Amino acid sequence: MANEIISLIVSCQLNQLNQTLALQVVRVDTGEQIHLHEGVFLLRIFSDDTTTQTRCLIRHLASGREAFVQGSPNLSDFVQKALLDDHDLQPVKTEPEQSIPPGSNKP
pLDDT digit string (tens) for 21-72? 888 999 999 999 999 888 999 988 887 677 777 888 899 999 999 998 887 7
Higher pLDDT, 93 or 69: 69
**Cα–Cα distance for residue pair 35/39, rounded to 1 Å:** 12
Task: Count CA atoms within 13 Å of residue 7 on its CB side.
Answer: 5
Predicted TM-score (pTM) of this structure: 0.62
